[in-house]
Amino acid sequence: MAKTSPTVLTLQKLKKDGWTTVAIVERWNPFARIRQDLFGCIDILAIKDGDTLAIQCTTYGNRNSRVKKISDNEHVPNMRKANWSIEVWGWHKKNNKWEVNIIDLS
C-alpha cells in the first residue's frame, strides 16, 4: 500500500473543512533536483471567505525544523502584514488514524 503524504492529508482536511480554493505552491525543480516552496516556506495556500491560509505541511517529527524555517524566513513579515494565517501542520498516526498537530505562526 502506498504511503499517504502530508500534502495529500492536508488537502483532504482542507476540503473537509470547507476550503474550496486550494493550491499546492511547492514545486519540483528538476534542474536543482529539489522541492521549492512558495517564498521559501509555504507548501499549500488556501483561501476562504476573505481569509488566506499558508501551510507548511510535514511529518510530526519534522515540525520544529519547519517552525524554524518559517521563523527565519525574510518574507514572513510581509505575509503577516497581508493578514495571512501561517501554520505548520505536522501529521502522525495515532491508534491507526491520521492526526494533525497545528502550530500557528501568524
The tens digit of pLDDT for each residue in 34-57 reads: 889 999 999 999 999 999 999 999
Band (pLDDT 50/70/90 cuts) for residue 20 is confident
Q: What is the spatial distance between Cα 98 and Cα 106, in angstroms, rounded to a whole number?
A: 24
CA distances from 58 to 15, 82, 104 (A): 18, 24, 14
**Can you give the residue ranges of every domain in the chain?**
6-104
- pLDDT score of 5: 92
Q: What is the spatial distance between Cα 60 and Cα 47, in angstroms, rounded to a whole number?
A: 24
From the candidate CATH numbers 3.40.1350, 1.10.3470, 2.40.160, 3.40.50, the one assigned to the domain spanning 6-104 = 3.40.1350
Q: Tens of pLDDT along 55-87?
A: 999 999 999 999 999 999 999 999 999 999 999
Name the helix (H) or strand (E) containing 89: strand 85-94
pLDDT at 1 over 60: no
Q: Which residue, 77, 69, 11, is CA-closest to 41?
A: 69
pLDDT at 2 over 80: no
Residue type, 73: N
CA angle 71, 77, 78 (to 5 degrees): 135
